[in-house]
């Protein structure tokens, strides 16, 4: 799929078919995240792929706005390895760069998933302590976001975007 089609066609999917996602496709999606740029190439992002229904049920329960996690066949827990994040830029790496690194990796994964016929939805409001425990994260690995992944069972219309001419300012900011 052309990258512009992937960018335009990707939607946040909140209804999923029960069909499991092939392991090979999950690997392809996470591999797309692995090729994202990262600050100083520190590569602080780690992903825990969760298919276990009970764990996904708990994740849905401890998430503010992601009830769909219990129905999506896969939940990708995107994490930040704090030691790697700290390795080059110290605390700035942890507080500033690593969340950006995780965000660009997530966008790569969401676009790759869409190109493979899969849907995704980003969840960033959840009980991090509970999720940490659920997937046995060590102390220096922080959960950052949970991305639902699965075959879509809805085809939502694109939520509107601001017009290009409103957000693109040539040479200087103009209102
Ligand atoms: C950082 C971030 C957090 C989000 N958190 C949630 C969430 O908790 N629950 C949800 O249903 N959608 C969540 N979304 C999806 C947005 O609502 C969605 O991207 C937006 O409405 C535009 O729709 P689209 O992704 O289909 O283009 C999140 C998106 C981003 C980028």
CATH superfamily of this structure's domain 3-153: NADH Oxidase (3.40.109.10)
Task: Round to whole Å and give the CA distance between 147 and 75.
Answer: 6
Name residues of the chain where pLDDT drops below 70: none
- CA–centroid distance, 99 to ligand 1, in Å, is 16
User: Which atom belonging to ligand 1 lies closest to the Cα atom of 159?
Assistant: 23
- Ligand 1 touching residue 107 (CB < 6 A): no
> What is the average pLDDT score of the chain?
97
- Ligand 1 touching residue 123 (CB < 6 A): yes
Q: Decide if 109 contacts 18 (C-beta within 8 A).
A: no
Q: What angle do CA 87, 107, 3 make, to 5 degrees?
A: 125
Task: Round to whole Å and give the CA distance between 118 and 169.
Answer: 34
Q: What is the pLDDT of residue 49?
A: 98
How is the chain split into domains, by residue range? 3-153
Q: What is the pLDDT of residue 174?
A: 86
- CA–centroid distance, 12 to ligand 1, in Å, is 6
Supply the pTM of this predicted model: 0.97
- Ligand 1 touching residue 159 (CB < 6 A): yes
């Amino acid at each position: 799929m052309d990258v512009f089609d992937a960018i335009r066609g990707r939607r946040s999917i909140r209804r999923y078919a029960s069909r499991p996602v092939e392991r090979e496709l999950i690997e392809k999606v996470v591999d797309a995240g692995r090729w994202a740029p990262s600050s100083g190439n520190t590569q602080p992002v780690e992903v825990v792929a969760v298919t276990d229904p009970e764990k996904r049920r708990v994740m849905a329960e401890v998430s503010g706005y992601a009830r769909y996690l219990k129905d999506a066949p896969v939940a990708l827990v995107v994490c930040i390895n704090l030691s790697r994040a700290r390795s080059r830029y110290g605390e700035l790496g942890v507080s500033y760069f690593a969340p950006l690194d995780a965000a660009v990796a997530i966008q790569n994964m969401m676009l790759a998933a869409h190109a493979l016929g899969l849907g995704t939805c980003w969840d960033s409001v959840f009980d991090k302590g509970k999720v940490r425990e659920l997937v046995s994260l060590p102390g220096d690995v922080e959960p950052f976001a949970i991305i639902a992944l699965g075959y879509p069972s809805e085809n939502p219309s694109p939520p509107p975007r601001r017009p290009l001419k409103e957000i693109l300012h040539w040479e200087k900011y103009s209102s």
